[in-house]
Structure 1
Amino acid sequence: MSSHQKKCSPIPSSAQPYDTKEKTGKWRSFKDSFKRYEAFDEEDDEKLKNLTDIERANIRTANSPLQRKLNSRTITMIAIGSSIGNGLFVASGSALNAGSAGGLLVAYGITGSAIYCTMQALGELACEFPVSGGFNLYASRFWEPSVGFAVAYNYFIQFLVLSPLELVSCGIVMKYWNKSINADIWILIFYIIVASINLFGVRFYGETEFVFSSIKVIAVIGFIILSVILAAGGGPDGQSVGTKYWHDPPPFATGFKGVASVFVTAAFSYGGTELVGLAAAEAQNIRTTIPRAIKQVFWRILMFYMVSLTLICFLVPSNSDKLLGASSVDVTASPFVIAIENSGVKGLPHVMNAVVLISCISVASTSVYATSRTLNSLSEQGLCWKFCSYVDRAGRPIVGIIITNVFSCIAFIAASGKEGVVFDWLLSISALSSIASWLTINYCHIRFRRALKVQGRSLKDLAFTSRSGVLGSWYALLVNVLVLIAQFWIALFPTGGKPSANNFFLSYLGGVVLLLFYFGHKIWKKNWIFQIKAKDIDIDTGRRETDMEALRQELEEEKMILQSKPLYYRAYRFWC
């Protein structure tokens, strides 16, 4: 352990694990589990007072009382299923209409390659620093605190809004089967389900998300197999469309502006991929679990997005009237359903509707998870009310969960008929959140590598290194900047519409919010630095592997074992 690490990484004297097997009654154990877990006592707090804001934040988030109960299986499935939802199942239809077949695949392919590089960078950082708040804290640590403050609050708002929105979506989806029942009744049922999932703890959330993600993955694989059969003429009508819809209409019928607009939809569709970074703080075996989950992103992008969307382009014309006005919960506008209906297959819209319903529940549950962890991290950094850092003995950030669930009650406006207007503006606040987070992750990775070089540290000290390296992070950074520019352009001059202030702020209000938080933090903290010097970046506090010699020896042994394996096995382990 370095001298710097010894100085800046005190182990809280009160950080003793809570004995869940204490011999008490079940009711007493349940009641006691809600008591606060004290990770720091008064002596520890006195020590922290003598440190800088950044040093205190690094230590508190590195010693968070969140419990490590997410195993490799659940983390991997969260990585695979976190962004498989309405963005793929439904919103891809409006993207096909806006950008045509060629524009759809180009935009999703480029964005997907950038996400792959981003996830590689996140994997490297998360394996070294599995701290509370994940990538939101990295911005404060490797870039500068005001950026971290702005990105973290914008990410918090994004998922805070998504929770009630997805509950409203559940009510709308249920209308597909029964329009006579008040939507608020369905919302109440799903509200109780979503609230209960996170109250049962992180292990229960992980297992539930594993089931939800498995259903989504099976659905996508099933649609891919069916689409291949339909494209080959194996449907009830027996007709093979071949490459007809690649010529009529043309693959780039809407021009460059149409392609640019698809980048925005693609970014929305891939949103949620970065959740693995938040889950790292609660993973059981970080060094093996996180890399494996990160590598799975490649296969998800390749198969679940690119393969399924390529097949859709063979089966659905981009000028289909059914694609127009596609919303995030309108199952009839899903290109998957349209492809199957055009081929004469009956009954599948009901299956698709069930998958969309499960996706809505999954995203709502994940929103509570992400919001509560982000709020907890902000409080631990001293950037939010102190009581928001309350974590009980079962490892639940209970205050954050309660705040999110209370805010989710706004979903009950569904019966008023005004939910569309309210949520359009709520979503506009956090519309750029995922892009801002990805951009930040890539630049933080670049700064981390720079700090390692300046401080004379070796890449051999890292448990996992990004496959795409620093060049991959620069590439992903550039793509995200271009997506922001594309969204700004489309917001000013919408495709097929006239410029208006209302449309602009609906698309770009998130950028205004980011700037307000950024400059607000600078005024509040009187922080006028714009980048921490590489020599001053803390690359020790919170690192999970502290015995570097033992780590190097273990990594060398693993490499030697891997080299003795057949080529196909080595290739499999490289990608998976």
Structure 2
Amino acid sequence: MIGIGGSIGTGLFIGSGLALANGGPAAVVLCFVIIGFMLFNVCMALAELSVVFPISGSFAAHSSRFLDPAWGFAMGWNYGMGGLLTMPLELTAAGLVINYWTTSINAAVWITIFLIALLIINLFGVRGYGEIEFFMSLIKVIAIIGFIILGIVLIFGGGPHHEYLGGRYWRSPGAFANGFKGVCSVFVIAAFSFSGTELVGLAAAETDNPGKTIPAATKQVFWRISLFYVVSLTIIGCLVPYTSKRLLSGSSSFDATASPFVIAIEDAGIKILPSIFNAVILCAVLSVGNASIYGTSRTLCALAENGQAPKIFSYIDRKGRPISAVILSMLFGLIAYINCTKAGSVVFKWLLALGGLSTFFTWSSICACHIMFRLAWKVQGHTLDELAFKAPFGIWGSCFGLLLNILCLITEFYLAVCPLNSSSSAEAFFQAYLAAPIILTFYIVWKIWKRTPFMRPSTIDLDTGRRLFDKQKMINEQTTKPRY
């Protein structure tokens, strides 16, 4: 449920509306399928690495081990900054979602309430986080399945208006909008919408049996998310035309009134249900904020353990909680109060730009680490039969994932230079691409200061932290059905 909770959020419920308006229904389905297959290879590579090396803060640690310690430093802080800034973003988004029902209460009140709630949840450690994430994810899963059933009924004329829709909106106004640039825009939105799935890898160090649970969880998360995204968005394309002004009429990218799910239900003439779905969106927002605290605190802890962050963040209490890192994550949540001022939105946009490309760099590094791991595994005399879990498409799947992530970065650069619905400007470019030069600066500074070596397959350490498995026992555990 950690992967589901971290992935199904505002990207699906609200951001998909922007994707539909920019590219049209066909572009939405096409791009989400392509990104979904890319994510499959990323997840499988991560699962293989996490089973062999179930360590805390897997992204940074793996990059330091298999690529370059300087790149691991850059990736760790890249992911950490992205997570630290996600927290205030989701708190702000939660306040905006509440505005669907009432605007009489200042957003600062809701930010305070949600901030305290998330602090209490994370003080219970991984168990408290996992329990809350399970129920929040369950609510989202039930809501999406319910919407899929409702959507099919509405498409075939079973709604209050008894109007058969079929594929009407795919023919008029059409399947694609804004041509090639529109497809590129959807490509990037789809990738951002899937972000958070990699959180499964961070949980490897805190599971009792990573060899069994991580591969199973990774596979299930991918298929469930792909099914929910692709099927629900296909239905959205049949219920809401991409020319609908309401898709872009929200006050921000987190305004629930611009959610295509809410728009589809309201256009069908169904009462009360839009408010229920808005409550689901609120759960999704808080779930992503909760996941960001978990992911960021574990990443900062791993960086500190590797000497790449202040030592205080490596402190773990008796219950296994990285308290110092959790407290820092919560303190960053206070940034959300900036949005209560008139100039706050401008400052907030620049803060978010710092972690804007975090997802692409993280996924690229996972694929590159898997490629180097496989090469080192072979060069140092090991065979694939020794691995407890193997990525289905092997090294070629990671090559494809790496290539597609690089393509996403190129596409984002193209859109930063030539925005879809606005003129080119230095401000628009840096708000979209500021993270890239910052990551390169982190890498170069650490590289020069520490003079870190580039990793080679023949010299990569494959022993430290490696968990040894009884492979036959694992196979038996994975093929034996549990008794209830």
Tell me the TM-score range normalised by the shorter chain.
Answer: over 0.9
Query: 2: distance between equivalents of 1:362 and 1:458?
Result: 40
2: CA distance, partners of 1:555 / 1:350? 46
Matches within 5 A, 1:262-341: 262-326=186-250, 327-341=252-266
Query: Which runs of structure 1 show a deviation greater than 6 angstroms over 4 or more consecutive aligned residues?
Result: none
1:218-229 matches, cutoff 5 A: 218-229=142-153
The answer on whether the counterparts of 1:379 and 1:386 sit within 8 Å (CA) in structure 2 is yes
1:532-551 CA-partner distances (Å, limit 9, x unpaired): 11010111111121xx6xx2
1:217 alignment partner, one of 141, 148, 166: 141
Tell me, yes or no, if structure 1 residue 425 matches structure 2 residue 350. yes
The residue that corresponds to 1:184 in the other structure is: 108
Task: State the shift of 1:415 in Å.
Answer: 2.4
Look up the match of 1:543.
466
**Cα gap change, 1:207/1:556 in structure 2, threshold over 3 Å: closer, same or farther?**
closer
Structure 2: give runs of 5+ residues left out of the alignment: none
Q: Give, as a single letter, the amino acid of the residue that structure 1 aligns with 2:6.
A: S
Deviation at 1:371, TM superposition (A): 1.3
Q: How does 1:348-387 map to 2 (within 5 A)?
A: 348-387=273-312
Instruction: Name 1:61's counterpart in structure 2.
Output: none
- CA drift at 1:79: 2.3
Alignment check: 8 A CA contact 2:2 2:291 kept: no
Deviations 1:34-71 (A, max 9, x none): xxxxxxxxxxxxxxxxxxxxxxxxxxxxxxxxxxxxxx
Q: How far is the alpha carbon of 1:496 from its aligned partner?
A: 2.7
Larger Rg: 1
Farther-moved stretch of structure 1 (412-421 vs 219-228): 412-421
Kept in 2, the 8 Å contact 1:119–1:297? The answer is: no
Residue 139 (1) aligns with residue 58 (2)? no
Are 1:124 and 2:48 counterparts? yes
The alignment status of 1:258 with 2:182, answered yes or no, reads: yes
Looking at structure 1, the residues matched to 146 and 345 of structure 2 have their Cα atoms a distance apart, in angstroms, of 32
Amino acid at match of 1:443: A
- Alpha carbons 1:170, 1:187 under 8 Å: kept: yes
Q: Residue 167 of structure 2 corresponds to which residue in structure 1? A: 243
TM-score, normalised by the number of residues in structure 2: 0.96
Equivalent-residue separation in structure 1 for 2:474 and 2:423 (angstroms): 58
Distance 1:113 1:557 in 2: 29
Q: Within the alignment, does 1:475 sit opposite 2:394 as a pair?
A: no
Is 1:490 the counterpart of 2:415? The answer is yes
Which residue of structure 1 aligns with residue 92 of structure 2? 168
CA contact (8 A) 2:96 2:254 kept: yes
Q: Give yes or no for contact 2:82–2:355 (8 Å, CA) kept in 1.
A: yes
Q: Which amino acid aligns with 2:161?
A: D
- How far apart in 2 are the matches of 1:553 and 1:407? 46
CA contact (8 A) 2:45 2:366 kept: yes
2: CA distance, partners of 1:407 / 1:85: 20
How far 1:558 moved relative to its partner?
Answer: 6.0
Displacement after TM superposition at 1:556 (Å): 6.0
Shift of 1:291: 0.9
Is the CA contact 1:95–1:104 (under 8 Å) kept in the aligned structure 2?
yes
Give the drift of 1:468: 2.0
Letter in 1 for 2:32: Y
CA contact (8 A) 1:80 1:296 kept: no
Query: How many Å separate the matches in 2 of 1:553 and 1:165?
Result: 46
Pick aligned residue for 1:110 from 23, 34, 37: 34
- Residues 1:87 and 2:11 are matched in the alignment: yes
> Contact 2:211–2:474 (CA<8 Å) still a contact in 1?
no
1:457 to 367, 377, 382: 382
* Cα distance between partner residues in 2 of 1:347 and 1:197: 30
1:264 to partner: Cα distance: 1.1
Spell out, residue by residue over 1:230-267, the C-alpha distance to the aligned partner (whole angstroms, 9 max, x if none): 01110000001111111112212311111011111111
Distance 2:471 2:278 in 1: 50
The AA in structure 1 aligned to 2:303 is: L
- Which segments of 5 or more consecutive residues in structure 1 lack a partner in the other structure? 1-76, 563-568, 570-576
Q: Given the alignment, which residue of 465, 471, 477 partners 1:552?
A: 471
Please report how far the alpha carbon of residue 557 of structure 1 lies from its aligned counterpart in structure 2 after TM superposition: 5.1
Write out per-residue CA displacement over residues 119-168 of structure 1, whole angstroms, 9 at most, x where no aligned residue.
00000000110101112211111111111111110100001001111111
CA contact (8 A) 1:87 1:328 kept: no
Q: CA RMSD in A?
A: 1.5
Q: Is the 8 A contact 1:117 1:468 kept in 2?
A: yes
1:414 aligns with 2:333: no
d(CA) in 1 for partners of 2:392, 2:432 = 34
Which residue does the alignment assign to 1:31?
none
Q: Which amino acid in the other structure matches residue 122 of structure 2? A: N
1:16 is matched with: none
Q: Which residue of 1 aligns with 2:456?
A: 533
Which SS does the other structure have where 2:288 is aligned?
Answer: helix
Could you tell me which amino acid in structure 1 is paired with residue 255 of structure 2?
D
Question: Contact conserved, 1:332 with 1:349, CA < 8 A, in 2?
Answer: no
Shift of 1:414: 3.3
Letter in 2 for 1:143: L
Opposite residue 356 of structure 2, the aligned amino acid is: A
Kept in 1, the 8 Å contact 2:4–2:225? The answer is no
Q: CA deviation at 1:555?
A: 4.7
SS in 2 for 1:535: coil
Counting aligned pairs with the same residue, the percent is 50
Amino acid in structure 2 at the alignment position of 1:424: K
Distance in 1 separating the partners of 2:396 and 2:415: 29
Q: Which residue of 2 aligns with 1:389?
A: 314
